[in-house]
Amino acid sequence: MPDYTSFGGDSLVIDMARKFSADRLAPHAAAREKAGRIEPEIIREMGELGFLGATTSAEWDGSEIDPVTYALLLEEVAAGDGSVSTLLSVHNSPTCIVLEKYGNPAQKDHWLRPLARGEGVGSFALTEPQAGSDASNLRTRAVKKGDRYIVNGAKQFITSASVPGSTVFFAVTDPAAGKRGLSAFVVDKSAPGYVIARREEKLGLKASETCALAFEDMEIHEDQRIGAEGEGYKIALSTLESGRIGIAAQAVGLARAALEHAIAYARDRQSMGQAIIDHQAVGFRLVDAKTRLEAARQLVLHAARLKSDGKPALEALGAAKTLQAALTGSSLVVGLVGEQVAPAANQIAGCGATRFLGVVGAAFAPSRYATDVAAAVKGAEVVMVVIPAFGQEAYMRELVKELRTAFPQAVISGTDEHGEGEHKIFRWLRSLDRKAHV
Ligand SMILES: Cc1cc2nc3c(=O)[nH]c(=O)nc-3n(C[C@H](O)[C@H](O)[C@H](O)COP(=O)(O)OP(=O)(O)OC[C@H]3O[C@@H](n4cnc5c(N)ncnc54)[C@H](O)[C@@H]3O)c2cc1C
């Protein structure tokens, strides 16, 4: 666990987040992942601790946490449960930030206060099926009728869209004006016409509800427009900066959890008469992963400090991305989880690697995982897969298929992590016609 004293930030808040994460999040992260939802008590407790008002000023009932503390708080929460940190991150920034920065006093009173107090969860609906990276390509239409707008359209990948609270969304108000024809709005998630079309089936972070949304003749009052007509694109882009700091801080927390698991395993696991951490090759990998993790943390904190000082942090995040590209071969800080630290953790954990899926599952596609394992244990004749007790059956089936392709001659073997009983995956495995062994 890192020593935060030299990082800056409010140690009281960070200690509180660490304790909450260790006591309330980590022990139930696997069960939460399996259930695919975050318990309302956890959301309520985060409200009481002030986490849901982290980026909101005290004037609007927020806890006014500075950007460095906020980044470290998200790292702590993500180390305990990546899904909970995702809810927290999207709620605070961009959602609450949009309302505080661009809402008028009446809107802040009505929409922001309850979110900052934790009485509801905020969502941010920008992405659409045809508009991801290119956020200007929206098709959702808000047509003005008197003092109302009638909204129709589809949004995709919206975090917490189904968790009670409110959603800031973006729609086209003037199709002829391109980027300048987009406007921002806010709506209660229980409004007629706000329809959850689908909950996405994800590989990981399953307790964070990611939804496809449909707006079906959803009628809203013009008072629910944030800023002037045509300001939507500017509003959306200007608030993504602190959102990116949050996402990067989460990635650091997830990577840290994976590495801590790997270190604990390497200290415990014996081979050739000693703990595997004492084999130099294993130690080198862990030190390398730790170095990359610390580099990523410092880049995130650098961006957070710039933001604290009121300087633009987007450039620093760009620099962070560039450095990450050099470090990891990926263009995102998040890549550190998927591209470097987690595979290192998995290599160290060897056959125990899959026990980390609950923590870093989102970072892996089964095909990618199989390629990493194949590179790590080239020529292996036996690949042993340890299935976590909570299991992720669909994922494991896919993974075993990929491992079979990567190791055509190998025996795929496995047990659950306690070595007790036969996991149902292996009954299924045995039923396959290809070589399988339990
Ligand atoms: C778990 C999860 C939660 C999410 N939560 C939210 C949310 O709460 N609200 C919301 O609005 N959205 C949310 N999103 C959506 C997210 O913001 C989009 O996935 C993101 O904007 C990328 O869009 P896309 O997936 O359509 O990828 P695309 O835009 O289709 O991109 C595909 C690939 O092409 C690359 N690419 C695209 N354009 C360029 C370019 N100009 N130069 C180089 N490479 C390029 C991308 O980097 C990517 O690798 C969420 C997504 C996920 C996975």
Express each pLDDT in 36-67 by its tens digit.
Answer: 999 999 999 999 999 999 999 999 999 999 99
SS3 (DSSP) at 215:
strand
Tell me the pLDDT band of 329, cut-offs 50, 70 and 90.
very low
Residues 6+ apart with CB under 8 A from 78: 85, 249, 250, 251, 252, 253, 254, 257
Q: How many angstroms is it from 128 CA to the middle of ligand 1?
A: 10
Q: Which atom from ligand 1 is nearest to the alpha carbon of 205?
A: 1
The answer to whether 111 and 100 are in contact (CB under 8 A) is: no
pLDDT at 358: 31
pLDDT at 348: 46
Ligand 1 pocket, CB under 6 A:
90, 124-127, 132-133, 157-159, 205, 210
Q: How many angstroms is it from 404 CA to the middle of ligand 1?
A: 31
Q: How many angstroms is it from 126 CA to the middle of ligand 1?
A: 11
CA dist list (Å): 59 to 64, 89, 93, 105: 9, 21, 17, 11
Q: Which atom from ligand 1 is nearest to the alpha carbon of 159?
A: 8
Mean pLDDT lowest for which of 150-159, 263-272, 314-323? 314-323
Mean pLDDT lowest for which of 50-54, 62-66, 356-360, 387-391? 356-360
The yes-or-no verdict on residue 400 having pLDDT over 70 is no
Task: Please report where in the chains the tokens 């006591």 appear, as a residue.
Answer: 23
Mark out the alpha helices in 4-49 (DSSP H runs).
11-20, 29-35, 40-49
**Closest C-alpha residue for ligand 1 atom 42:** 133
pLDDT at 308: 87
* Residues 406, 419: Cα–Cα separation, whole Å: 25
Q: Which residue has the higher pLDDT, 361 or 147?
A: 147
**Closest C-alpha residue for ligand 1 atom 7:** 158
Mutate which of 33, 137, 157, 200 for ligand 1? The one with the most ligand atoms within 8 Å of its CB, which is 157
The answer to whether 346 and 356 are in contact (CB under 8 A) is: yes
Mutate which of 93, 98, 133, 215 for ligand 1? The one with the most ligand atoms within 8 Å of its CB, which is 133
Q: pLDDT of 270-304, one tens digit each? A: 989 999 999 998 898 889 888 888 888 888 898 89
* Residues 182, 171: Cα–Cα separation, whole Å: 6
Mutate which of 38, 127, 364 for ligand 1? The one with the most ligand atoms within 8 Å of its CB, which is 127
For 123-237, CATH gives: 2.40.110.10
- What is the pTM for the complete model shown? 0.79
SS3 (DSSP) at 287:
helix
Residues 6+ apart with CB under 8 A from 155: 125, 126, 127, 128, 140, 161, 169, 212, 213, 214, 215
CA 8 to chain centre: 24
Q: pLDDT of 183-220, one tens digit each? A: 999 999 999 999 999 998 887 889 999 999 999 999 99
Q: How many angstroms is it from 85 CA to the middle of ligand 1?
A: 19
Q: How many angstroms is it from 114 CA to the middle of ligand 1?
A: 29
The yes-or-no verdict on residue 376 having pLDDT over 50 is no
Q: pLDDT of 78-125, one tens digit each? A: 999 999 999 999 999 999 999 999 999 999 999 999 999 999 999 999
Q: How many angstroms is it from 133 CA to the middle of ligand 1?
A: 5
Residues 6+ apart with CB under 8 A from 57: 64, 100
